[in-house]
Structure 1
Amino acid sequence: MATVSHRLHLPGSSPVHRTPAEVKIVCAVLTVFAVVATPRELFWPFAAYGIGLVVVWRMARIPLRWIAPRLMIELPFVVLAVLLPFAAGEPRTTLLGVSLSTNGLYAAWGIIAKGTIGVGISLTVAATTSVRELPAGLSRLRVPGMVVTIMVLMLRYVDVIADEAARMRLARISRGDDPRMIHQIGAIGRGVGSLFLRSYERGERVHLAMLSRGFTGTVTDFGTPPATRKQWSVACLPAVAAVGVCIGAWVAR
């Protein structure tokens, strides 16, 4: 079964793929901060962010049919945003014969626009960066070694836990259990507790196995070369442009 990295990573040889991980992480963080800081009352900055994101997707050869279904992760926030125009207070406006809160409309627009762009940026980094590149990139950004280890192992073993949960669910169904029935909530709770204990015990066994093989607390970076000045200057252009759009939006507000 494919791991999380294989499901989110699209192997390629585009300039975005070849950019070192630390550069992509910094650019993604700067761009997300610029998007979040943009005034929600304006619409053109978010159009500019969207166009820039699509350009990066084209450069990285990431198809929209791959991006679109993965954007559905923000669906709960979209549902919340849709309810805001009805729940917020004054001032109000009429849209299609329905009285809606103006502040609620702006809040809903801000959540949907910023959330969609933020998820799109995260998917871009995930699609063009493999798990093998992360340890070196995070270490060069001076992230503590223990945090790097936890993140990398989490990405590696989350599929193991998901497979274990799927096997437990299949075993329950084969014994006549129906997870859709409310009276089975007790069995579901016990299953979650059992899964937690199994995951904890598996983690201890993996840690002991790593120590017995000479693990020192640092994840190997597999010899990936650090970013050059040219790579920093070229790859950061989209992030600089996003910061410029944000500043321009505040000036024009």
Structure 2
Amino acid sequence: MPVAIALGALVMTLFGGWVAHHVTDRRHLILGLAGGLMLGVVGLDLLPEALHAAGEEVFGVPVALLCFVSGFLAAHALERLLAVRKAAHGMDPHERVPQVGLTAAVAMIVHSVMDGFAIGVAYQVGEQMAVAVAVAVIAHDFADGFNTYTITSLYGNARRKALLMLGADAVAPVVGAASTLLFTLPEHWLGIYLGFFGGVLLYLATSDILPEAHHEHPALTTLACTIAGAGFIWLVVAVAS
């Protein structure tokens, strides 16, 4: 049953990627929406869950928030190190690095595996819990597919690689759900992962996606898309709670 539910996440992921792939003449709106979806997922979904799962503190700070800051800094350090490397080879350090996009896409895929894992674990707890988690996962997997394709493409990767990452992201929830038949992940480690991934996602949204969206088209429609993206995640969380 968990695997069957995860197939719904697979379909929504592909649909999200299909939308990002075809709406090319409104790229700034796509990026604005993607930024809002990413901000919404981080602030309204990932961080609350991370704080709940890894609630203990280290020197007065929740472990989940330490991991969140670590994820943000890790993404920043990776991008800066790649920029320095390019500068050393006489390349433009501000040119987008394809490896960053691929790394972000891999992080999205790992996150999608955990989405499927969450469906499987929730189903073991009870059907009502499974339904709530499934609604949240399937709805925001549209954002996952949308963001996976957009991030991979934004950093200069070929369309073939973007589609490959999208396909892997679509299959990931099914793999995660199937894995719950074999083992379980302690709640503490799940919280640590969610906090770290939230930091990575926030860095990508605020340092690349949103600035790019408003660079050539500083329009109110782009801002409206960003707000709508965050609002959509809020609606998903409200329905699932």
Larger relative CO (CA 8 A, sep 6+): 1 or 2?
2
Task: Give the structure with the larger helix fraction.
Answer: 2
Same fold (TM over 0.5): no
- TM-score (normalised: structure 2): 0.31
- Bigger Rg over Cα: 1
Give the TM-score normalised by the residue count of structure 1.
0.30
